[in-house]
A and B are shown apart, each in its own frame.
Chain A
Amino acid sequence: MLEVERLEKSFGGVRAVDGFSFHVDKGETLGIIGPNGAGKTTVFNLITRFYTPDGGRMRFMGKSITHLPPYRLARLGIARTFQNLRLFKDLTVLENITSAHLTGHSYSPFAGIFRTRRHLRIEREARDNAMMLLDFLGLGGKEQAPAGSLPYGEQRRLEIARALAIRPRLLLIDEPGAGMNPREIQDLVATLREVKARFDLTIVMIEHQMGLVMNISDRILVMDFGEKIMEGTPSEVRKDRRVIEAYLGEEPV
Chain B
Amino acid sequence: MRFFLDSRKLILLAAGIYIVLKLLFSSGIVSEYIQQITIYVFIVVLAATGLNVIYGYTGQFSLGHAAFYGIGAYTSAYLVKTLGLNSVFALPATLLAGGIMAGLIACIIGIPILRLRDDFLGIATLGFGILVRVFFDNSDRISETLGGSRGFTGIAKLTNLEITFVVTVFLLIVTRNIISSRYGLFWRCIKDDETASASIGIDTTRMKLMAFSYGCFLAGVAGALYAHLYTFLHPSNFDFLKSIDFLIIVILGGMGNIAGTIYAGLLWVGFIEGLRIALPSNILDLRWVFIPLLLIVLMMWRPYGLMSKKKGDG
Interface residues of A (CB under 8 A from B): 48, 50, 69-71, 74-75, 79-80, 82, 86-91, 95, 98-100, 102-104, 106-107, 109, 111-116, 119-120, 122-123, 146, 148, 162-163, 165-166
Contact = CB atoms under 8 A, between A and B. Distances in A.
Query: What are the nearest 6 A-B pairs in CB distance?
Result: A112-B181, A74-B201, A103-B201, A86-B196, A70-B198, A100-B200
Contacts, number: 104
Given A50-B195, A89-B192, A99-B189, A114 B200 contact: no
Interface residues of B, number: 30
B201 A88 contact: no
A213 to B, nearest CB: 22
Interface stretch (B1-9, B24-32, B219-227): B1-9
10 contacts: A70-B198, A74-B198, A87-B196, A88-B188, A90-B191, A103-B202, A104-B201, A113-B174, A113-B181, A115-B3
B312 A71 contact: no
Contacts of A82: 195-196, 199
Given A90-B312, A146-B312, A115 B198 contact: no
B168 to A, nearest CB: 16
A120 B3 CA distance: 12
Contact of B189 (A75, A91, A111, A148): A91
Contacts of B199: 48, 70, 74, 79-80, 82, 86, 163
Interface of B: 1-3, 6, 174, 177-178, 180-183, 185-186, 188-189, 191-193, 195-196, 198-204, 210, 311-312
B3 A74 contact: no
Given A48-B199, A88-B189, A89-B193, 15 more contacts: A50-B195, A70-B199, A79-B200, A80-B199, A86-B199, A90-B192, A90-B312, A99-B186, A102-B186, A103-B200, A112-B177, A112-B178, A113-B3, A162-B200, A165-B200
Given A114-B1, A115-B3, A71 B181 contact: no
| B191, B193, B196 pick with most chain A CB within 10 angstroms | B196
B203 A71 contact: yes
A119 B181 contact: yes
| B181, B203, B204, B210 pick with most chain A CB within 10 angstroms | B181
B201 A71 contact: yes
